[in-house]
Chain A
């Protein structure tokens, strides 16, 4: 079955700097890769997703890149702000409404 590994487990960056979180997946049949943000005690919320027919997707300060050959995808946050502090989860699935296999999460800390 699918396995998703996520690194780092904790990331601390200075406010205004960029943050990068990386994930690898094992099942080459996976073709949907969402990223969720979860603030403490709250529900996961989708911030960006990418499908395997696209190599990069951007939404304001957030971008996701996908390398299908290497089976890894990354989340990039530029100009980080205090409200970016949260746990970020990557996930992989064969379809968007199928079971999501989640990474272990990255706790992002934005230092003022």
Chain B
């Protein structure tokens, strides 16, 4: 069984530029999560999808962050414009009513 796939694995951009991350969850998993993990800290939830519906986006900074999950499968997370403080690892996870499986993450560096 293929795991959660994320791309790109690394991204370096200058501040004020846009950036997008892509996630392909495990086949059949209806719940998809985007987390942000800062160095030395635990992951922090940004948004959770049940199928194509965003059911928890209370911690998503909506002025610059947006996400979508078309057709309830793949998802993209976008930041526009990026700020220095957005540098972190962005993790995607998926689940089917139980354990959350994580992707390898995208390490974002904003210069």
Contacts and interface: CB of A to CB of B under 8 A. Distances in A.
Interface stretch (B20-28, B42-50, B71-79): B42-50
B82 interface: no
Contacts of B43: 44, 89, 100, 102
B50 to A, nearest CB: 8
Taking chain B's interface residues, is the majority helix, strand, or loop, or is none over half, making it mixed? loop
Given A97-B31, A99-B45, A99-B56, A45 B102 contact: yes
Contacts of A89: 42-43
Interface string B83-111: 00000000100011111111111000000
B41 A105 contact: yes
Interface of B: 31, 33, 40-45, 48, 56, 91, 95-105
Contacts, number: 49
Q: Which secondary structure characterizes the binding site on chain A?
A: loop
A9 B97 CA distance: 30
| Complex A-B, nearest 4 residue pairs according to Cβ-Cβ distance, in ascending order | A102-B42, A43-B102, A99-B45, A97-B31
A96 B104 contact: no
7 contacts: A42-B104, A46-B99, A46-B101, A98-B48, A98-B56, A100-B45, A104-B42
A96 B99 CA distance: 6
Contact of A44 (B31, B56, B102): B102
Contacts of A91: 42
A43 B103 contact: yes
Contacts of B56: 98-99
B100 A46 contact: yes
